[in-house]
A and B are shown apart, each in its own frame.
Chain A
Amino acid sequence: DIQMTQSPSSVSASVGDRVTITCRASQGISSRLGWYQQKPGKAPKLLLYAASSLQSGVPSRFSGSGYGTDFTLTISSLQPEDFATYSCQQADTFPPTFGGGTKVEIK
């Protein structure tokens, strides 16, 4: 299976900050990467797919980049509703696999 490694595992930030999360795949996955947002008790939400394509309805402050093995999720200006856990997922090879998550906490 392809291993997905995220860093950092947690980050403390303030409203208005720029936040960047990194995801690394154990082998090349082209641009077949997605990012999800999770909040306790709520359904996970797809933010970006194909590394940089914004899912419908997702604010433009979220952006993604990368290709091959290294990817980033950037939140350009953190909003109160963005405090959550973010996970990456490779969609290149069965079975799809996820990173361990990055928790974005209030500073």
Chain B
Amino acid sequence: QVQLQESGPGLVKPSQTLSLTCTVSGGSISSNYYYWSWIRQPAGKGLEWIGRIYTSGSTTYNPSLKSRVTISLDTSKNQFSLNLTSVTAADTAVYYCARETVGYNLFFDYWGRGALVTVSS
């Protein structure tokens, strides 16, 4: 059974960089069958897709965040990571990592439980 788990600081200061890691167990992040995404949800609001990465390292980002986002892979640790620069209070949210199976076309079949990140001084 595939499991995803987010980790990282729960508190980030404004203007700094938010960094989160998703550790994948029960499956290889190097598989050609999957994309790996980050999705967030501010309190009381809907989910927002941030971006995704493929095993080749190819990335696609949400245009609304593209200038501030980097998603990367660490295949040796079976992890992928999110960096979001120049954060503000509007970036306070629960951040999820999720898997998309190739052929499922942007449907996310496995998710982590989420990590709450608060942006505050």
Contact = CB atoms under 8 A, between A and B. Distances in A.
A43 B98 CA distance: 9
A96 B46 CA distance: 12
Interface string A73-107: 00000000000000101010011111111000000
Contacts, number: 57
Report, nearest first, the 5 A-B pairs whose CB atoms are least far apart.
Answer: A91-B106, A98-B47, A43-B111, A49-B107, A95-B62
Interface residues of B, number: 23
Interface in B39-66: 45-49, 60, 62-64
A98 B48 contact: yes
A55 interface: yes
B113 A42 contact: yes
Interface residues of A, number: 25
Interface of A: 1, 4, 32, 34, 36, 41-46, 49-50, 55, 87, 89, 91, 94-101
A50 B103 CA distance: 11
A78 B107 CA distance: 25
B60 A101 contact: no
B63 A43 contact: no
Contacts of A89: 47, 106-108
B4 A55 contact: no
A101 B48 CA distance: 12
Contacts of B105: 32, 91
Main secondary structure of the interface of A (DSSP, over half): loop
12 contacts: A32-B106, A34-B108, A36-B47, A41-B113, A43-B110, A43-B111, A44-B47, A46-B108, A91-B106, A94-B106, A98-B46, A98-B48
Contacts of B111: 43-45
A44 B107 contact: no
A106 B114 CA distance: 25
B14 interface: no
Nearest to A41: B113
A26 B62 CA distance: 18
A95 to B, nearest CB: 4
Contacts of B60: 94
Contacts of B49: 95-98
